[in-house]
Each structure stands twice: as C-alpha cells, then as structure tokens.
Amino acid sequence: MYSKELLKGTLKTIILKLLSESDQMYGYQITQKVKEITEGKINLTEGALYPALHKLEADGLLSTEKIEVGNRVRKYYRLTQSGNNTAQEKVEELKEFMETLKSIINISPQKLAWSI
Amino acid sequence: MEHLTEQNISEITTLIKAKGVEMEELVHDLVDHICCMIEERMEQGENYTSALDKTMNSFGNNGIRNIQEETNYLLTKNILAMRKTMHITGITAAILLLLGSIFKIQHWPGAGFIYILGAASLCLLFMPLFLAVRIKEKIGKLNVVSNVVGTIGAITMCFGILFKIMYWPFAGILMNTGGVLLLFIFLPLYIYSGFKSKQLKTSTIVPIIVAVAGFSLMFSLVKLRNSQDVTDAILNIQYTIYEDTESTLITNQSILKILQNDSITAHHGANEIAQQINDISEDLNFAIAQSMHQEIPEEKLRETIRLNYYSISNDMGDLAMLRKDERGLQDLVDLIKKYEGLYLSITGVKANLMINNANLESYLNRTKTLFPLGIVIHDLSLLNLQVQRLHSSLLQYYKGKVS
C-alpha cells in the first residue's frame, strides 16, 4: 500500500485513464478495478474517489447518468469530449514525470557527489 | 446475486443522511457504494445486519461526513479567494456608508465623498462579486437570470439612493428603474424558482416578506412630502399672490390708459422699470420651474407655472442659474432699488419694498449653491406683487394730479 501523499497527485489521472478504457463506470466499480489491476497495492478510498469524481464533473470532464439497478439508483460516470482530451494529456504528462523521476532516483551516490 | 430490499436501501439512505451528508448527488453515490460493499460481504455468507454494521464501521466516526466536506472543498476552492474579496469589499462598503451617515448627521465636511466611496465599493465591487460567486455556486438558467436581474436592480437602486443623497439629477429615474426591476422581475422569478425547487420554506418566504415590506417603507419615505393640508395651504397663498398680481397689472393698465388720454408722460420712466421687474421675475420663475421639470414641454409649463405648484417642490437646484449677468437676480435687485429711488424722488415717500432682502442677498451670495429653488419662486412672485402694488399707487398719484 502506498502513502496517501503519493496517490494524491495522480488520482485524477488514474480515474480519467480508467474511464477512457471503458464506456462508463460507477464508483464502486472504479475502486474494485484499481484494486484488481494493482493487485491491491493501491486502495482507492471512497473519501478520495467521490470528491475527485464530483470535481471532475464540475469541471466538465465527466458526465453522469443515473440508472435504476436493483432497488437503488446507480450513477454511471463517463468521459465527455474534453474529458477524453484531458485524459490523454494527463497520462502523457504522468509518463514523462515518471521518466524524470526515474532519472533522479537512479542517480548513483558517486554521481551525485561529483555533480555537487 | 442477491439484491438488497427497498427497505434495506431506505435504511442505508437514512443512515448516510444522519451522518450529515446533504448533497443529493453524493447521497446517490454513497448509497450505491455502500450497498455494493454490503452485497459483497453477504456473498461471502454474512447476514445483512452484520454486513451493514461492519461496512458502516469501516468508515470510522466522521468518515462519511468528511467525504462531503472534501467534495465541497474541491468544488468551492476556486471561488474561495473571490468570496474573501467579496467579504472584504462588503465590510468596507458597510463601514464607509455608516461613516458617511455619521458625518452627514454631524454636518462634518467630507460626508459626500465617503458616501460616494461606500456606494461605489458596494455597487461596483461587492455586488458584481456576489453575483459571480452566486453564478458559480448555483447551476440552473432561471437562477442565473434572476440573480443577474436582481443584482442590476440592486445596483441601480443603490446608485439612485446615492444620487438622491448627493442631489444629483436622475436620482428618481434610477431609483424607480431599480425598484421596478427588483419588485416586478426579480421577486416573481425568485418566488417562482422557490416554488419550482419545492423549497418554499422559511428560508424563501422570509426574504420575500422583508423585501416587500422594506420596499413599501422605503418608497413611502422617499416619496414623503408635506401633508396634504399644508401643501394645499401653501398653494392657496401662492395662487392668491398670482391672482393679486394679475388684477394689479390690469388696474395699472386701465390707469395708464387714462393718463395716456390726458397726454401725461412723466410716469414713463417708472412704468418701464415696473414692467421690466415683472418680466424678469416671471422669466426667472419660469427658468426655475423648467430646471426642475425638464420633461414638461414649454407651453404646458407656462400654463402650470401660473398655479406655481413648483414652489412646494422639495427638489434641489443650483442657485447659479439665477446669477446670470443679463436679466438675472442681480439685475432684478438693482431695478427694484432704482424704482424705490424713483418713487422717493417723485412722491417724497420712502417705500420699503424689499422686506425679504436678506433672502435675495443670500441667493446671490451664498457659497453653497444647492438650494430648494421652489422657495425662490415664492420670494420672487411676492416681491413682484409688491412692486406692482407700489406702482399702482404711483400711477394713482399721477392720476390724482391730473384731476
């Protein structure tokens, strides 16, 4: 399990990426999907997920649809057109960021000493 | 897969709301989410009650409530700064307006300037920011329309009141426009949207009552004039002055005719001055009435000025308009003095015409030129009557000499 701090900056990107790969998803499904893909290493809590979903909806990146399931209403989230574009941008940005991080993390102690 | 019953779901919904979640959309999300968690536990063999307990406990004491708080924070983060500015300008405006009224009551200098600053920060900063925050908060076309109309109405109204306090022109038009916008467009829209969202509770009804009551009180205050009896009495005096002047002028005309028949010309100089005094005072009165009611066409104004109901107007005007070089108040005063001198030299009797001399002097010399000009009309017409009466006696004097 990773720390909350690490997850914070990438939460939106994770949600957008997941939604870009399926037509529409509901909240619980997203948490389960993340758990499944990461083999339980990332636990997307409700306290992080729903505020982020509502914010993305308010920003116009997501739209919702309410469907009656069983005896209750289930809210499905899907990407809007601009959500689609943002999802691609965000994923690219994160990839680049991970490359940059690697270059920092991989610096050997000697190299670091020399550069200083 | 086993589905939860309707009763289970209404129980879960109640539990979530009891934790303090009010946002409708978030309630939908959480009900479904928690149901899913319970169903998962039940699939593993647990019964409903134990699954519900365990699931709810997994959120901790404030866990569910915190979700709403976090959502609210994320949604309003952007407008927090705007709201802060709004509060600061609002408080500044309120303090300035309060200060302005204290200065005004105490007759300290600078009251007007403080009022202008206060009204400007209220109308040009606070209210537009308030509108922007409202629009960002509330989604829905009707609400946006009613908020825009409401803000424009309030700004117009507010400027109208400022203009009224500062005795600037168009105060009435601004206040009436603002009032119409607020009362007849904003308020119905507000009530309608209240009905539509089924939230016509105390929170909707109370502002409506306050608004309607406040408006009625304010309008009665602004439109307040002297009581009808006092008004009628003053108008009667004014009308008597007018009638008296007219009949004196007619009398003078008939004496003049007699003198003319007897080929007497010695009175001509005095006659000309009396005529000029009559003309100038009438012109000045007309100019004052016209400045107070630009919207009335000239011909109609000439008719109504005979009744001189402008003399009871509380409207402020600029005394500077009386201080013109030609045929102004100064000329009038000079002519009256000249007439008095002439009268003394002819009859040997000293006439004390200018009983309201002090008033005329102040109209000519006071530095604060803002003044209820209606009162000037009263002074001028009374003075003219006195001159024409005096002239009547002068003509009688000549006539007596003839016969």
pLDDT of residue A113: 61
- Dihedral of CA atoms B56, B57, B61, B66 in degrees, nearest 10, equals -50
Is B374 within a domain?
yes
In whole angstroms, what is the distance from residue B307 CA to residue B5 CA?
85
Mean per-residue pLDDT of chain B = 84
Is A55 close to B71, i.e. CB distance below 8 A? yes
Looking up tokens 């209403």, which residue turns up? A73
Cβ <8 Å between A54 and B74: yes
Q: Do A55 and B31 count as a contact with CB atoms less than 8 A apart?
A: no
- Where a domain ends, among B195, B222, B249? B222
Chain A residues within an 8 Å CB radius of B73: 51
pLDDT, greater one: B172 or B181: B181
Q: Who among A28, A46, A58 is closest to B67 (CB)? A: A46
- Confidence (pLDDT) at A3: 75
Which residues have a Cβ under 8 Å from the Cβ of B400 and sit 6 or more positions away?
Answer: none
Whether B73 is in a domain gets the answer no
Co-location of B213 and B245 in the same domain: no
Asked if the Cβ–Cβ distance from A28 to B70 is below 8 Å, we say no
pLDDT of residue B156: 94
pLDDT tens digits, one per residue of B307-317? 666 666 777 78
What is the DSSP code string of B176-197?
A: HHHHHIIIIIIHHHHHHHHHHT
**Would residue B67 count as lying in a domain?**
no
Chains A–B, number of C-beta pairs less than 8 Å apart:
66
- Supply the pLDDT for residue B354: 62
Mean pLDDT of A37-44: 88
* Nearest one of B376, B161, B152 to B284, comparing CA atoms: B376
**Among the listed ranges A105-109, B166-170, B334-338, B371-375, which one has the minimum average pLDDT value?**
A105-109
Choose among B218, B197, B327: nearest CA to B275: B327
pLDDT at A27: 92
Q: Which two tokens stand for residue A58?
A: 């308010």
- What's the pLDDT at A108? 60
- What HEC string does B96-163 produce? HHHHHHHHHHHCCCCHHHHHHHHHHHHHHHHHHHHHHHHHHHCCCHHHHHHHHHHHHHHHHHHHHHHH
pLDDT tens digit sequence for B6-52 = 888 888 898 888 888 888 889 999 999 999 999 889 988 888 888 88
Interface probe for A, chosen from B29, B30, B37 (most Cβ of A below 10 Å), is B29
For B76-132, how does the pLDDT look when each residue is reduced to its tens digit (9 = 90+)?
A: 777 788 888 899 999 999 999 999 989 888 878 888 899 999 999 999 999 999 888
What is the rounded radius of gyration, in angstroms, for the C-alpha atoms of chain B? 37
Cβ contacts of residue B45 below 8 Å, gap of 6+?
none
| Boundary (domain end) residue, out of B222, B244, B270 | B222
Question: Which of B67, B73, B78 is the best substitution to test chain A (most A C-beta atoms within 10 A)?
Answer: B67
- The reply to whether B69 falls in a domain is no
Mean pLDDT of chain A: 87
My answer on whether B246 and B370 are in the same domain is yes
Q: Is pLDDT at B224 greater than 60 in this prediction?
A: no
Q: Residue B36: its chain A contacts at CB < 8 A?
A: 28
- What is the C-alpha separation between B135 and B154, in angstroms, rounded? 16
A25 alpha-carbon distance from chain centroid = 13
Closest by alpha carbon to B256, among B240, B239, B235, B270?
Answer: B270
Q: Kindly indicate the confidence band of residue B153, based on its pLDDT and cuts at 50, 70 and 90.
A: very high
What are the backbone angles phi and psi of residue B142, rounded to the nearest 5°? -60, -45
B320: domain range? 228-402
CA dihedral B48, B54, B57, B63 (to 10 degrees): -80
> In this predicted model, what pLDDT tens digit does every residue of B356-379 receive, in sequence order?
667 888 888 888 888 888 888 888
Q: Point out the least confidently predicted range of B182-196, B235-249, B344-358.
A: B344-358
Give the per-residue pLDDT at A109.
60
My answer on whether B17 and B107 are in the same domain is: no
B125 and B267 belong to one structural domain: no
Q: Kindly determine whether residue A71 and residue B4, on different chains, have CB atoms separated by under 8 Å.
A: yes
- Tell me, yes or no, whether B112 and B49 share the same domain: no
Residue the block writes with tokens 């008939």: B254
B278 and B352 in a common domain: yes
Give yes or no: residues B180 and B314 share one domain: no
Q: At residue B259, does pLDDT exceed 60?
A: yes
Instruction: Provide the pLDDT for residue B239.
Output: 85
What is d(CA B135, CA B127) in angstroms, rounded to the nearest whole number?
A: 12
Total tally of structural domains belonging to chain B = 3
* CA atoms of B213 and B202, how far apart (whole Å): 16
Of residues B362 and B136, the one with the higher pLDDT is B362
Question: What is the least distance, in Å, from the CA of A16 to any CA of chain B?
Answer: 17
**In B197-295, which ranges are continuous DSSP H helix?**
202-222, 228-261, 268-292
* Pairwise CA distance, residues B158 & B130, whole Å: 15
Confidence (pLDDT) at B391: 92
- φ and ψ at residue A68, rounded to 5 degrees: -75, 120
Residue A19 has pLDDT above 70, yes or no: yes
- What secondary structure letter does DSSP report for A116? -
Helical axes B357-365 vs B329-347, angle rounded to 10°: 150
pLDDT of B300 over the 90 cut:
no
Contact B159, B136 (CB under 8 A): no
| Entry pTM | 0.47
Q: What is the pLDDT of residue B2?
A: 60
Chain B neighbors of A55, CB-CB under 8 A: 71, 74-75
* B66 occurs within a structural domain: no
| Domain annotation covers residue B178 | yes
No. of H helices and E strands in chain B?
Answer: 16, 2
Q: Does B200 score more than 60 pLDDT? A: no
| Cβ proximity of B290 and B373 under 8 Å | no
Domain boundaries, chain A: 4-115
With contacts defined as CB-CB under 8 Å, which chain B residues touch A47?
Answer: 63, 66-67, 70
In angstroms, the separation between the Cα of residue B62 and the nearest Cα of chain A is 11
B80's tokens:
């927090």
The answer to whether the Cβ–Cβ distance between A75 and B59 falls below 8 Å is no
Nearest to B33 among A28, A64, A69 (CB): A28
Stretch B169-173: mean pLDDT: 84
pLDDT-derived band of residue A20, with 50, 70 and 90 as boundaries?
A: very high
User: Å from B68 to nearest chain A CA?
Assistant: 7
- Quick one: B114 and B208 in the same domain? yes
Closest-CA distance, A85 to chain B, in angstroms, reads 21
Q: How confident is the model at residue B5 (pLDDT cuts 50, 70, 90)?
A: confident
- For an interface test with A, give the residue of B5, B39, B71, B78 to mutate (most A CBs within 10 A): B71
pLDDT at residue B392, rounded to an integer: 92
Place of tokens 């009667």: B236
Counting beta carbons within 10 angstroms of the beta carbon of residue A53, is it exposed (0 to 12), middle (13 to 18) or buried (19 or more)? buried
Same domain, B144 and B196: yes
Residues B389, B359 share a domain: yes
Q: Are residues B247 and B359 in the same domain?
A: yes
Q: According to the model, what pLDDT value does residue A85 have?
A: 92
Residues B49 and B100 in one domain: no
* C-alpha separations of B254 from A61, B248, B257 in Å: 94, 10, 5
Q: What does the pLDDT read at residue B187?
A: 86
Q: Measured between CB atoms, which of B26, B32, B71 is closest to A72?
A: B32
Average pLDDT over residues A97-115: 74
User: Domain boundary at B222, B255, B286, which?
Assistant: B222
CATH C-level class of A4-115: mainly alpha
Q: Tell me the backbone φ, ψ of residue B19, rounded to 5 degrees.
A: -75, -5
Query: Chain A: residue nearest B29 by CA?
Result: A75
Q: Do B9 and A54 touch (CB under 8 A)?
A: no
